[in-house]
Amino acid sequence: MRFSGQQLRERLDLYERLMRLDKPIGILLLLWPTLWGLWLSALGRPDWRVLWIFVLGTVLMRSAGCVINDLADRNFDPQVARTRQRPLAAGQVSVREALLLFAALVGCAVLVVLPLRSWLLAALCVAALFLAASYPFTKRFLAIPQAYLGLAFGFGIPMAYAAQLGTVPAEAWWLLLANVFWAIAYDTEYAMVDRADDLKIGIRTSAITFGRFDVAAVMLCYMLTLALIAALGYGLGLGVFFYAGLVVAAAISGYHYTLIRARKPAPCFKAFLHNNWFGASIFAGIAIDFLASKGISG
C-alpha cells in the first residue's frame, strides 16, 4: 500500500495516538519504579549504559502495551465516553496494522536489551512481555486487575536488579510489591472516572470492587506503598533526604484525597495524572540521598 506524504503523516499521527505518545503519563508511571530499582540496586551509581537502555525499553514496552490494550478492548472502548475516539475504537486503524505495530515495538525492545547479554534478564523480559500482553484480558475476570497492572508496570524493578547485579534479591520483590499497591491506588483513581460506563459493559475494576470503600482503599494503598519503601530504605541505611522524599509523596497522596473524596470524574482523573509527582518525589529522595552520602564520604 502506497501513501502520499500527507497520508503518511496522518497514519503516523494515528500510530502515535495508538501508542499514547501524546499522553506520556503512562511512560512516567512505568519509568519511576524502574528508576527506583536502578538506583537502589546500584546504591546510587547505576551503569549509565544500563540506564539509557532501560529508559528506551520503558518507552517501547509502554507503547506496545497500549497497542495490545486497545486491541483487546476494541469492542469495549466505543461504549466508553473517554475512549471511543481511540484509533482502533474509531475504526481509523485496522487490527492488522495494530498487530504489526505491536510486533515492531516488541522487536525493537528485544534489540535494545540484547547488548546486556544476560540470560536472567532475558527470562525476566519474557515474563514482562507476558504480563504486558495479558493484562488487558484480566479485566474480564479479576476483581482487582489493577494489582496485575502493578506487576506489569513494576517488572522493570527485578529487571533492573538483574541488569545491575546479575541476581534478584528479596528487596527487589518487596519494592515490586510496593509498586503493586501504588498501581492499585492510582489506577483505582483512573477507574473511578469510568465507573458508570464500566458497570454498563461488564468490565471489572477495583473502583467497582471496592464500592463505597474506594477512597479508603486508595489511601490505604498509598500508605502501604510508602511503608514498604521506607522499610527498604531503612534496611539500606538511607538518610534524611530519602525520608524527606517520602514525606513529600505522603503529602501528595493527601492532596489526592481532597480530589477523589467526592468521586467526581474530572478531579479523580486529575489525581491519577498527578501520580507522576508521587513517583518523582520518591525517586528524588533516593537519588539526592545517595548523592549527599557520596559527597560526605568523598
Each residue of 80-111: pLDDT tens digit?
Answer: 777 888 888 888 999 999 999 999 999 999 99
- For the chain, give the percent of residues with pLDDT over 70: 96
* pLDDT band, very low/low/confident/very high, at 184 (cuts 50, 70, 90): very high
Q: State which amino acid sits at residue 111.
A: L
* pLDDT band, very low/low/confident/very high, at 263 (cuts 50, 70, 90): very high
Per-residue pLDDT of 243-252, as tens digits, reads 999 999 999 9
Within 10 A of 240 (CB to CB), how many other CB atoms are there?
Answer: 11
**Domain ranges within the chain, ordered by starting residue:** 7-297
Report whether pLDDT(295) > 60: no
CA distance 239 to 226: 15
Report whether pLDDT(8) > 80: no
Please say whether the beta carbons of 40 and 236 come within 8 A.
yes
Please say whether the beta carbons of 62 and 27 come within 8 A.
yes
Of 126-130, 184-188, 198-202, 243-247, the range with the lowest mean pLDDT is 198-202
User: All 3 cell numbers of residue 294?
Assistant: 557520596
- What is the average per-residue pLDDT within 285-297? 83
Within 10 A of 157 (CB to CB), how many other CB atoms are there?
Answer: 28
- Domain 7-297 sits in CATH at 1.10.357.140
Please say whether the beta carbons of 219 and 261 come within 8 A.
no
User: All 3 cell numbers of residue 278?
Assistant: 508521587
Q: What is the pLDDT of residue 200?
A: 82
CA distance 273 to 282: 16
Q: What is the pLDDT of residue 201?
A: 82
pTM for the whole structure: 0.93
Report whether pLDDT(5) > 80: no
Average pLDDT, the chain: 92
Per-residue pLDDT of 206-217, as tens digits, reads 999 999 999 999
CA distance 290 to 24: 27
Per-residue pLDDT of 108-158, as tens digits, reads 999 999 898 889 999 999 999 999 999 988 888 889 999 999 999 999 999
Q: What is the pLDDT of residue 2?
A: 56
CA distance 126 to 86: 28
